[in-house]
Chains A and B, each alone.
Chain A
Amino acid sequence: MVARASTSSCASRRTAARRVFALVAAAAATCGPAAADPGTPRLVPIAAAPGAAVPTGVVPPTAAGDPPLVRIGAAAVPPAASAPRAVAAAMPAPRTLRALPVEPVVPPPVASGMMQAPVMLRSLPIEPVMPAAVAARSAAPIAAPAPVTLRSLPVADVAPPRQQLATVSLAPPEAPRPLAPLPTAQSEHALPPRPPAMPDAIASLPPPRQAAPVPTVPLPPLPAVPSVSSSAALASPPSVAAVPAVPPVASPRMMPPPVVPAPLPPAPVAAAAAPPTPIAPPQMAAQPLAPSPSLQPPALQPPPVAPQSPSPQQVAGPGPTRSADPSTAPPEQPRAAGPGKPADAIVIGSFNIQVFGESKLAKQPVVDVLARVVRGFDVVAIQEVRAKSDNVIPQFVAAVNADGSRYQYVVGPRLGRTVSKEQYAFIYDTTRIEIDPGSVGTMPEPADRLHRPPLHARFRVRANPPESGFSFWLVDTHTDPDEVKQEVDALADVFVAMRSLRPDEDDVILLGDFNASPAQFGKIRSIPGIGWAVSNATTNTRRTKTYDNLVFVPAATAEYTGRWGVLDLQQTFGLSLDKALEVSDHNPVWAAFRPWEAPRVPLTAQAPAADTPAR
């Protein structure tokens, strides 16, 4: 069916993709309203009977000519979710992790001039506790979804009634349109008080950016429709004129899938007992990277700003982290340890789970390892989902949530030039991260250089106030190993296009399996100010290649803490090489970012070029 799509349909999709890309480029600067396109891939808001389980995954075409759909996963919709703006009732219950003593592992000798001490801590079990101050804390309302263009389409395999499907604009905007009014605490859209996303120890800190207050813009309007098509965008030509304009309306259905609050165990110890962890100001913003002619990233150069040593609280978390074995780790990757869930940062990961399909899902020990990996990240980009079934990611996320976690997911369409297709996915912790549902899509490329066009989505850290949370694009990619050079160059174009997609979003993180080391990043390296997290470290399970990375502009993404790592499956889980390879031929990679949105840095203030890893 989908996996056996005909060549001609593939060709038509690619033709459409080119058109989309061209339109995106044309519209990038303004991002105005979009006309709906009947062929545009569309997001399916999950709607179901109250309390009923909701099917998730990619929906096959419902009729001839219909593009594939992308669903945003939801474990269940609570009764309150059926009412407009009742998402509040479904917000995750407060959950705060109590930091337990962490045994520091003796790090390897730090090279002189290291920017930051390696994060080489072994995580211990974390007991979830109820924060003492949760009840008294008043959370600002979650931003109401920005107006999205909606249209009703019949969805054959989604429970009736007909769904309101979000479409995204493919037409260049005529002029900037005013932002949708933001909900206030008194508005009907206001959510009930919500505990802070960050543990008490962090939430109780003084505002992290008092010296440079942000955001000046009231809110990154989540609903502002990106002018790139959504997931199925690559499927059909953007026949904008064919769809009547629909007045933008705010749709509560487009909010992130609500999560049924789960009762938390009583707090034996007040979380506030943990000493406050100082949050460093976003120093990277004022620190343009100096261009370097060398291909050797100066990863070990002295930092321009004194690093902040992580406290035990910062690295405590439920993740499967363990320090790298200094005897086996490459000498220049002292930070190659798993992240856990830092209290002062969110951890973004990327993981190529080789041939992630029913066969792998049937191996419980493998699933256990994968689930533990995912729980160590706040949001993780997955590559190589290969299955005819749409149940692989839903079942896997259920396994991740088996311990009480509240992860959700987004799965992209099946992609590939042959009948052998792959899907991308994002899996994110809804207690710390929210997704902009209207932002999910696949970014095609006009010259058809990308075997599997990247999947993008915009996320934001749940913070108090909400608009202060770090928001960012993730662009998930997996290059064709036989056409790396062309694909890497195409990804550079995608990156630039994504940075221009929304004027209110300057944080773009391109992550995934590049099948290339930073030295082979080609045109990506020419992007002004570009950097990458993983440097001088191997990322495949056999420890022979550097294929996986997170690429961004550090001066713009000033939220980057400088902490990154490769989660070595063998070391972390005590596996033999053979058993680690049963999990994947890639190790996960990650980087940590501060949870608050940093002041935006004008592009002109960035270094013209950087030949360095992100610092």
Chain B
Amino acid sequence: MSDAAALDPAALARQLASASVDERVAAAERLSQAGEEAAVAAVPLARACGDDDERVRELAVAALEDMGPPPADAVGPLGDLVDHRDPLVAYWAATLLGRAGEEAAAAVTALTACVASSADMSVRQRAAWALGRIGPAATRARGTLETARSGADQRLARLAAEALDAIGG
């Protein structure tokens, strides 16, 4: 094993956008080992889920799974990613917003639209879950969630119901 590069998540986040696949793989791998420290790279990692290289995607997912909530300043960019054309990017953007909890209130509109119209069911489900994690601040999503609650997809219906409970009102 070669010595791992010193952990500098900000630098690694930039490295994720490198034109070199090897550079991107190395950055994603290092971030996957960074635990919660990788949170500063939340947005680049979410974007990396749409990388052309499978290794980058899988390592980015691994980093995202373990990093916990994103920093507050990531909410805006993540809100822009929930309608990303790559479902894996959108899925993880929604996941991170959910982890942010009420801090992600600014993303309620984007998440609500995602629940209503995303072409990918896993993204819709995760967006409904995220709205529940946001809680009362997501009140304006109630209508969409009520529709989802009575929809055909059982998991989405359950998550919407749980979100409505969490939102209250």
Q: What residues of chain A lie closer than 8 Å to B91, measured between beta carbons?
A: 417-418
Chain B residues whose CB sits within 8 angstroms of the CB of A419 once the complex forms: 87-88
Q: Is B17 an interface residue (CB 8 A)?
A: no
Q: Is the CB of A357 within 8 A of B33?
A: no
Contact A447 B154 (CB under 8 A): yes
Alpha-carbon gap, A253 to B29, bound state (A): 41
With a cutoff of 8 Å between Cβ atoms, the chain A residues found around residue B153 in the complex are: 11
CB contact under 8 A between A7 and B55, given known A359-B25, A542-B35, A581-B4: no
State the interface size on chain B (CB cutoff 8 A): 33
User: A417-B122, A482-B99 known; A355 and B32 CB under 8 Å?
Assistant: yes
- A600 within 8 Å of B by Cβ? no
A354 at the interface (CB under 8 A from B): yes
- Bound-state CA distance A359–B99 (Å) is 29
| Nearest Cβ on chain A to B39's Cβ, whole angstroms | 14
Taking a contact as CB atoms under 8 Å apart, the answer to whether A582 and B1 are in contact is yes
Q: With both chains docked as a complex, state the minimum distance between the C-beta of B67 and any C-beta of chain A, in angstroms.
A: 10
Give residues of chain B (62-76) contacting chain A, Cβ–Cβ below 8 Å: 62, 65-66
A 458-498 contacts with B by CB, 8 A: 481-483
B129 adjacent to A482 (CB under 8 Å): yes
B61 on interface, CB distance cutoff 8 Å:
yes
Query: Nearest Cβ distance between residue B93 and chain A, in whole angstroms?
Result: 12
Instruction: Report Cα–Cα, A579/B30, bound state, in Å.
Output: 11
- In the bound complex, do residue A582 and residue B88 qualify as a contact, i.e. CB atoms below 8 Å apart? no
A429 at the interface (CB under 8 A from B): no
The reply on A448 being an interface residue by CB < 8 A is: yes
Closest chain B residue to A480, Cβ basis: B65
**Which residues does chain A contribute within 8 Å of B29, judged by CB atoms?**
359
Q: Could you tell me if B1 and A363 are in contact, using CB atoms closer than 8 angstroms?
A: yes
Closest chain-A Cβ to B17's Cβ sits at a distance in Å of 20
Q: In the bound complex, do residue B122 and residue A482 qualify as a contact, i.e. CB atoms below 8 Å apart? A: no
Minimum distance in angstroms from B162 CB to a CB of chain A? 9
Distance in angstroms from A153 CB to nearest chain B CB is 30
Shortest A187–chain B CB gap in Å is 50
Q: Is A559's CB within 8 Å of the partner chain B?
A: no
In the complex, whether A366 has a CB less than 8 A from a CB of chain B is yes
A386 contacts the other chain (CB 8 A): yes
Query: Is A585 touching B125 in the complex (CB atoms < 8 A)?
Result: no
B98–A386 touching, CB < 8 Å: no
Task: Give residues of chain B (48-96) contacting chain A, Cβ–Cβ below 8 Å.
Answer: 49, 54-55, 57-59, 61-62, 65-66, 87-88, 91, 95
Chain A neighbourhood of B120, CB < 8 A: 7
The distance in angstroms between the C-alpha atoms of A11 and B154, with both chains bound, is 10
- Whether A420 sits at the interface, judged by CB under 8 Å, is yes
Binary flags per residue of A418-448, CB closer than 8 Å to B gives 1, else 0: 1110000000000000000000000000011
B19-44 contact mask (Cβ, 8 Å, vs A): 1 or 0: 00000010001001101000000000
Cα A582 to Cα B2 in complex, Å, equals 10
A354 touches B4 (CB 8 A): no
Say yes or no: A355 contacts B58, CB within 8 Å.
yes
Give the contacting residue for A481; candidates B3, B57, B65, B158; CB below 8 A.
B65
Residue of A with least CB distance to B4: A578
Identify the closest chain A residue to B125 (Cβ): A417
Task: Kindly provide the distance from the CB of B112 to the nearest chain A CB, expressed in whole angstroms.
Answer: 19
Q: Are B121 and A581 in contact (CB under 8 A)?
A: no
**How distant is A353 from chain B, measured CB to nearest CB, in Å?**
11
The reply on A388 being an interface residue by CB < 8 A is yes
* Nearest CB in chain A to that of B63: its residue: A355
The A/B interface has a contact count, at CB < 8 Å, of: 75
- A482 — which chain B residues lie within 8 A by C-beta? 95, 98-99, 129
Within 8 A of B (CB), among A10-56: 10-11, 14, 18
CB of B140 within 8 Å of the partner chain: no
Q: Looking across the interface, which residue of chain A has its beta carbon closest to that of B124?
A: A7
Contact partner of B87 among A354, A357, A418, A483, CB < 8 A?
A418
B14 within 8 Å of A by Cβ? Answer: no
Q: Quick check: is A365 within 8 A (CB to CB) of the other chain? A: yes
Closest residue of A by beta carbon distance from B5: A578
A481 close to B121 (CB less than 8 A):
no
Question: Within the complex, what minimum Cβ distance (angstroms) separates B7 from chain A?
Answer: 8
User: Shortest Cβ distance from A561 into chain B, in angstroms?
Assistant: 32
Contacts of A366 in B (CB 8 A): 1
Is A359 touching B55 in the complex (CB atoms < 8 A)?
yes
Closest CB in chain A relative to B24 CB, distance in Å:
12
Q: Is B25 a contact of A481 with CB atoms below 8 Å?
A: no
Residues in A with CB closer than 8 Å to B54 are: 388
Name B158's closest neighbour in chain A (CB-CB).
A447
Other-chain contact of A578, B33, B55, B58, B129 (Cβ < 8 Å)? B33
Cβ A581 vs Cβ B58 within 8 A? no
A571-590 vs B: 1/0 string, CB under 8 Å?
Answer: 00001001101100100000
List residues of A (370-417) whose CB comes within 8 Å of B's CBs. Answer: 384, 386, 388, 417
CB of B152, distance to nearest CB on chain A (Å): 9
Pick from B25, B58, B62, B122 the residue with the most CB of A within 10 Å: B58
Is there an interface contact between A420 and B87, defined as CB atoms closer than 8 Å? Answer: no
* Contacting pair B58 A579 (CB below 8 A): no
Decide if A418 touches B88 in the complex (CB within 8 Å).
Answer: yes
| Least Cβ–Cβ distance between B146 and chain A, in angstroms | 20
- The chain B residue sitting closest to A363, CB to CB, is B1
A481 CB contacts on chain B under 8 angstroms = 65-66
Residue of B nearest to A451 (CB): B122
**What residue in chain B is nearest A368 (Cβ atoms)?**
B1
Q: Mark B126-146, 1 if CB is under 8 A from A, else 0.
A: 000100000000000000000
Chain A: minimal CB distance from B118 (Å): 10
Contacts A365-B1, A420-B88, A582-B4 given; indicate if A357 touches B58 (C-beta within 8 A).
yes
Note all chain B residues with C-beta closer than 8 A to A357.
Answer: 55, 58
Rounded to whole angstroms, the CA-CA distance of A469 and B121 in the bound complex is 46
| A318 to B143 CA separation, bound complex (whole angstroms) | 62
Contact residues in A for B58 (Cβ distance below 8 Å): 355, 357, 386, 420
Q: Decide yes or no: A355 and B99 within 8 Å by CB, A419-B87, A447-B154, A581-B33 being known contacts.
A: no
Chain A residues with Cβ under 8 A from B33's Cβ? 578, 581-582, 585
Question: What B residues does A575 contact at CB under 8 A?
Answer: 1
- In whole angstroms, what is the CA distance A439 to B162 when docked? 35
Candidates B49, B62, B87, B88; contact of A355 at CB < 8 Å: B62
Give chain A residues whose Cβ lies under 8 Å from the Cβ of B88: 418-420
**Complex: A365 Cα to B35 Cα, angstroms:** 22
A sample of 6 inter-chain contacts (CB < 8 A) reads A10-B121, A18-B154, A359-B59, A542-B35, A575-B1, A578-B4
Q: Please provide the 8 A-B residue pairs with the shortest distance between their CB atoms, ordered closest to farther.
A: A578-B4, A581-B33, A417-B122, A448-B155, A365-B1, A355-B62, A420-B61, A7-B121
Given contacts A418-B88, A578-B3, 19 further A-B contacts (CB under 8 A): A7-B120, A10-B121, A354-B62, A355-B58, A366-B1, A386-B58, A417-B125, A418-B91, A419-B88, A420-B49, A420-B58, A420-B61, A447-B155, A449-B155, A482-B99, A578-B4, A581-B33, A582-B33, A585-B66
**Residues of A in contact with B (beta carbons under 8 Å apart):** 7, 10-11, 14, 18, 354-355, 357-359, 363, 365-366, 384, 386, 388, 417-420, 447-449, 481-483, 542, 544, 575, 578-579, 581-582, 585
